[in-house]
Structure 1
Amino acid sequence: MELQRKLSKYVFVYIVTAVLSVNLIQAQALKLVDESSSLKVLGTSSLHDWEVEAEEQKGTITLANAEAGEIGSLAIEVVAESLKSGKSSMDKNTYKALKTKEFKSIYFNLVEVKNVVSKGNGVFSVQTVGDLTIAGAKKQIPLNFTMSVVGNKVKLEGETKFKMTEFKIDPPKALLGTITTGDDVTIKFVTNFN
């Protein structure tokens, strides 16, 4: 009888510890891993298509329920002047359009998770809405992505499209206005947290 009571106590302590450790992981803010994450902005111009890539970003994600793919919070910050095209003249025009002297970063903050569909093996299709702030102008946008959860690692992968003018950004021009940039841009991202 005494042995059975001790065993029951140990089993109870083990279950409580396991539940608390899972909840701790879920409540913990996982940090964006800059080295293995990528964010690209793609667009068009009257001359050729163009692309810039973020070299410096940070952020956090918390999971309300890892097994169900429920996100508690998500925030991303991209340093505006870390967007690089490999061409200094294009970068200069980009920074001017983004008003980087005044607005140092681009921000995304999750507002609401609209839908989560489990694809199995810790992979989820997620539909969200969030506040995107560029050059000081904030706008709510839809953002859909695939989320993979493995242990204490989370990966988000997706893309979104919008018009620069929605954020009061004049599409950049070059060579005295002879080269004009298209208004539509696409952001493609692979964001890793741990």
Structure 2
Amino acid sequence: MRSSISIALLLFLFVVGTAQSQNFKMQSSSDIKVEGTSNIHDWELDAEQKSGSAVLESEDGKITGLKSLQVTIPAESLKSGKGGMDKNTYKALNTKKHKNIEFNLEQVKDFQDAGNNNYKVKGVGTLKIAGATKQIPLDFTMNVNGNKIKISGEKTLNMTDFKVDPPTAMFGTITTGEEVTVKFTTNFTK
């Protein structure tokens, strides 16, 4: 009886011991852009500052899932290269009151191994912009190479869903479209 309990305990410890989480931190080399349109020309904002983390799950050295993903962008680090446009953007985002744009992955709906250390992920997370929080679906690809992860994708959003009025300029003669596309290639390391 005692030996069967010992064997069961050893098997339990072996099974538990093979599953592990790996923590990664976002690198400054990550690229996050917001692209939009106006009645004059298309425009683009670059996130010059960003931070975040990711936690991978693995078993027996094989990646089995993405446990968490979190990204924070200081709203006033979004830069277009045009001071007037940046001011209008910050006003629309109410950056005096709401300092950060935040994304937090809440659930992974589908995680597929696409071969060559690439994975396709379908998830749902919360996105907070200008103080408004909304749950959004987000599909992206992930490449794992040793101690490095690259997560890439894009998501189109309607600014009014976050109670953000599209910025205008020149007394309303220049108007931006309601939709923006966020494109990201983010790098994480252990």
Report the alpha carbon displacement of residue 69 of structure 1 after superposing the two structures with TM. 4.3
TM-score normalised over the length of structure 2: 0.87
1:69 & 1:147 partners in 2: Cα distance? Answer: 12
Which of residues 40, 52, 65 is equivalent to 1:70?
A: 65
Does the residue aligned with 2:151 lie in a helix, a strand or coil? strand
2:9 is matched with which residue? none
Does the residue aligned with 1:95 lie in a helix, a strand or coil? helix
2:24 is matched with which residue? 30
Structure 2 regions of 5+ residues with no counterpart? 1-13
Greater strand fraction, Structure 1 or Structure 2? 2
Q: Give the number of equivalent residue pairs.
A: 173
CA contact (8 A) 2:120 2:142 kept: yes
Does the residue aligned with 1:51 lie in a helix, a strand or coil? strand
Is 2:151 the counterpart of 1:156? yes
2:188 is matched with which residue? 193
Which of residues 57, 63, 67 is equivalent to 2:50?
A: 57
For residues 1-194 of structure 1, what are the structure 2 equivalents within 5 Å?
Answer: 26-34=20-28, 36-65=29-58, 67-194=62-189
Q: Deviations over 1:70-127 (max 9, x none)?
A: 0111110001000000000000000000110111110000011011121112101111
TM-score normalised over the length of structure 1: 0.85
Code of the residue aligned with 1:48 in structure 2: it is H
1:154 & 1:69 partners in 2: Cα distance? Answer: 14
1:82 & 1:140 partners in 2: Cα distance? Answer: 23
Which stretch of the first structure deviates more once superposed, 54-63 or 68-77?
68-77
Report the alpha carbon displacement of residue 27 of structure 1 after superposing the two structures with TM. 2.1
1:69 & 1:50 partners in 2: Cα distance? Answer: 39
CA contact (8 A) 2:56 2:63 kept: no
1:162 & 1:46 partners in 2: Cα distance? Answer: 18
CA contact (8 A) 1:126 1:146 kept: yes
Code of the residue aligned with 1:144 in structure 2: it is D
2:6 is matched with which residue? none
Does the residue aligned with 1:101 lie in a helix, a strand or coil? coil
CA contact (8 A) 2:168 2:174 kept: yes
Does the residue aligned with 1:29 lie in a helix, a strand or coil? strand
1:27 & 1:80 partners in 2: Cα distance? Answer: 31
Code of the residue aligned with 2:26 in structure 1: it is L
Quote the RMSD (CA, aligned, Å). 1.6
- Identity %, equivalent residues: 54
CA contact (8 A) 1:69 1:124 kept: no
Structure 1 regions of 5+ residues with no counterpart? 1-15
Code of the residue aligned with 1:57 in structure 2: it is K
